[in-house]
Structure 1
Amino acid sequence: MTTLEIQTNKIRILSLAFLFVLSICAGVALSYYLYLDGQFSLKLVGVLIFAIPIMLFILWFSGKKIIDKKPGLVLDSRGIIDNVSLSEIGIISWSNITKVSIIKHNYSQFLLIYLKNNDSIMSRLSGFKKRIAKNNIEKFGTPFIINISNLKIDNLELLKIIQNKIQTN
C-alpha cells in the first residue's frame, strides 16, 4: 500500500477555536457588566475560574494543530497514525482493526475504529490521554475515535479506503 497522508482542515480548527474564544470573551464581558450593575455572584466567579483555563487550553491545542506540519491522518502499510485527535494514540496496526464506522455526534463526523484488543492501545497511554481513551470506550465502545470533520477528505472515501485495507489483511 502506498502511504496516504490526509491533511488537517486548519481553517475549520481555527474557526471553531475563534468561536469558542469569542463565547468565553462574551461571558467575561457579561460578568464585568453584572459586576458594574452590582449583581456579581460567587457562582459567576466560579464559572470564570473554570472557563478561562479551558479557553487557554483550547487556544494552545488549536494553535499547536494549526502550526503543526504533520498530516492529520496517515494510512500506510503498517496501519493508521492519528495526528489530529487530542489523544494522538499513535499507530494502530491493520491486524488489530476489526471494523470501522462513521457517526455524527455534536455537529461533527467521527470515524470509530473498533479493535480486537483495546488493551494493546490502553497500555501505551497514560494520564490525560488514557482518560480520553477510557471515556471513548464508555461512550462509543472503542478507544480510537477520529474527528474526520477536521480532515481534508470526503468521509465516505476515507471509510472505503480503510474498509478495503481491513479486508486485505
Structure 2
Amino acid sequence: MAENDNIQQLEEVVIREQPGKVWLQLLFAIFMLALSILITYAGLSSLDMIYAVPGMFGILLFGIAFVYIIRGIVVGRPLMKVNAAGIVDLASISSVGLVEWHEIENVLVSRRFRQTFIDVQLRNEDEVLKRLSGFKRFLTKLNFSPQTSLVAIPLGTAMQTPDEIIELIQPHLQKHGRKLIIG
C-alpha cells in the first residue's frame, strides 16, 4: 500500500538544459543570422528581390532563434516537465506546451541525427495544434516531418543522460498507463 501511495504522490520531474551544451546552437544561430544579413544586403544593393526576401525571412527566423537561445542561457530554461497534468514540451520556440495524459498515445525514445529524442505520440495531433497561436502553429508545421512526432524533445542539451531521463519519467508513464517504447 505504501508503494501505491508513493506513486500517487509523484513529484514533478523537470529536465533542464545545460547552458554549456547550448553554445553550438548559439554559434549556428549567429552564423545563419550573419549569412541572412549578407544575403539581404546583396539582394537590396542589387535590387534583386530573389535574394532580399529570403534574406529578410532568415533575419527574422534566426534573429528570433538567437534571442531565444540567449534567453535560455541567461535564464536557464527547462526542456520538458512531467507532472500530474501531463508532459510539458518547452524544448524550443515551436514547442506545443502542455500535452495532457489523455492526449498521449505513448512515448518513444528515438535516435535521429546523432541525437536522442523523446517523441510524444499523440492520439489527435489536430486537437493539440488547435490550441497553439497562429505563429506557433506555423513554426510547428515548418519544423514537423512525417517521420517524427509533433512533440519531439531533443535531449542533446539536457543536464541528464537519456537513461537518467527515462528513469525519471518512467514512474509517471506507468502511473498514467502509457507505454515507453525505446527504439
TM-score > 0.5, shorter chain as reference: yes
Looking at structure 2, the residues matched to 15 and 121 of structure 1 have their Cα atoms a distance apart, in angstroms, of 31
Looking at structure 2, the residues matched to 78 and 27 of structure 1 have their Cα atoms a distance apart, in angstroms, of 41
Which of the numbers 89, 99, 106 marks the counterpart of 2:96? 89
Match of 1:113 in 2: 120
Q: Provide the alpha-carbon RMSD of the alignment.
A: 3.2
Which of the numbers 148, 154, 157 marks the counterpart of 1:150? 157
Match of 1:71 in 2: 78
Match of 1:124 in 2: 131
Whether 1:2 aligns to 2:24 is no
Change in 2 beyond 3 A, CA 1:90/1:52: closer
> Which blocks of at least 5 consecutive residues in structure 1 are unaligned?
35-39
- What is the identity, as a one-letter code, of the residue corresponding to 1:122? L
- Asked whether the equivalents of residues 65 and 84 of structure 1 are also in contact (C-alpha less than 8 Å), the reply is no
- Asked whether the equivalents of residues 32 and 62 of structure 2 are also in contact (C-alpha less than 8 Å), the reply is no
Equivalent runs, 1:14-93 vs 2, <5 Å: 14-22=23-31, 25=34, 42=48, 48-93=55-100
When structure 1 is superposed on structure 2, of 5-14 and 154-163 the one drifting more is 154-163
Percent identity between the two aligned chains: 20
Change in 2 beyond 3 A, CA 1:74/1:23: closer
Question: TM-score, normalized by length of structure 2?
Answer: 0.68
**1:116 shift after superposition:** 1.9
> Which blocks of at least 5 consecutive residues in structure 2 are unaligned?
1-9, 177-183
Looking at structure 2, the residues matched to 137 and 23 of structure 1 have their Cα atoms a distance apart, in angstroms, of 20
2:78 aligns to what SS in structure 1? Answer: coil
- Asked whether the equivalents of residues 80 and 94 of structure 1 are also in contact (C-alpha less than 8 Å), the reply is yes
